[in-house]
Copies of this chain bind each other. A is one copy, B any other.
Amino acid sequence: VPAPGEDPSRDGALGPDLRPLPGARNLKLVIEYDGACFSGWQSQPGVRTIQGSLERALGVVLRHGVVVRGAGRTDAGVHAWAQVANLYTTAPVDPERLLRSVNGLLPQGVRVRTIGVVPLGFDARRDATGKQYGYRILHRPGPSPLREGRVWHVWGRLDRQVLAAELGTLAGTHDWTSFRATDCTSPTAIKALSGAWMDVEDNDVLVLRFRGEGFLKQMVRVLVGTAVEVARGKRPPGDMRRVLALRDRREAGPTAPAEGLYLERVEYPGEEP
């Protein structure tokens, strides 16, 4: 059985085969975290990760080794409103009680929102049909102390209509080579993006949203960094389609800071959109 860190695909594909022991239950966890507190989702030796922190805290309460299977990895610094994971346990613990115990043991920056018992066949990674990310840009003169570490603060020229229009050109199944980290190890750069759009909150928070079957390393952040260059007039409108066609990361803009990025939703069949 490979260790949790050895799954070769970033996102969406099959990972290690975790077979439940007889009498085990399958628990689905919804998890929120502040990405600034962690070196990403995935367990790694010597650094604090969300998966590692969860496995340690759950192991203490359940009194057995725990493998937490997340719907997908998030990079260092990226937040999650609702990451989804599952785990098998033979411990006869009440979910509501487990929630409280685990939250009391977890380090600052991560908490379990809900724990539910699901069918043994449910697999948080394999069964996910899509994900939604939101990237928050604060567009106003002064920064926001109440949103520090939660938004990318941008001031000066930023044409909101151009920004929204640029996002509107992106949906579709494309080769996203131009918009992924150069060290991204995913075997394919072809992913279906079902939508990209902009919502505005409280007048000055621009939320750039991306929904798709799967995402490559830093894909959303490079898309945002490039779209902002278009909205600032540093690139002509429509430039993202040109960059997309070139399949060259050097043609895209800078990677937007991780602090603005949130995994907002993991989609499963039969759940409301």
Task: Identify the A interface with B (CB < 8 A).
Answer: 32-34, 37, 79, 81, 96, 99, 103, 108-114, 140-146, 148, 150
**Measured CA separation A109–B148 after assembly (Å):** 9
How many copies of this chain are found per oligomer?
A: 2
Which residues on B sit within 8 Å (CB–CB) of A112? Answer: 142
Which residues on B sit within 8 Å (CB–CB) of A108? Answer: 145, 148
Q: Which of chain B's residues has its CB closest to A35's CB? A: B146
B142 A32 Cβ-Cβ under 8 A: yes
**Measured CA separation A140–B81 after assembly (Å):** 13
Give chain A's interface secondary structure class. mixed
Q: Which of chain B's residues has its CB closest to A34's CB? A: B145
Top 10 A-B pairs, shortest CB-CB distance = A113-B142, A34-B145, A111-B142, A109-B145, A111-B143, A112-B142, A111-B145, A114-B141, A34-B146, A32-B145
Which residues on B sit within 8 Å (CB–CB) of A113? Answer: 140-142, 144
Which residues on B sit within 8 Å (CB–CB) of A79? Answer: 146
A201 smallest CB distance to B (angstroms):
10
A141 smallest CB distance to B (angstroms):
6
A93 smallest CB distance to B (angstroms):
15
A83 smallest CB distance to B (angstroms):
11
A155 smallest CB distance to B (angstroms):
9
A212 smallest CB distance to B (angstroms):
22
A202 smallest CB distance to B (angstroms):
8
Among A96, A108, A113: residue with most chain B CB under 10 A: A113
Which residues on B sit within 8 Å (CB–CB) of A142? Answer: 32, 99, 103, 111-114
B144 A32 Cβ-Cβ under 8 A: yes
Q: What are 27 A-B contacts defined by CB distance under 8 Å?
A: A32-B145, A32-B146, A33-B145, A33-B146, A34-B146, A34-B148, A37-B145, A79-B146, A81-B146, A96-B141, A99-B141, A99-B142, A103-B143, A108-B145, A108-B148, A109-B145, A111-B142, A111-B143, A111-B144, A111-B145, A112-B142, A113-B141, A113-B142, A113-B144, A114-B140, A114-B141, A114-B142
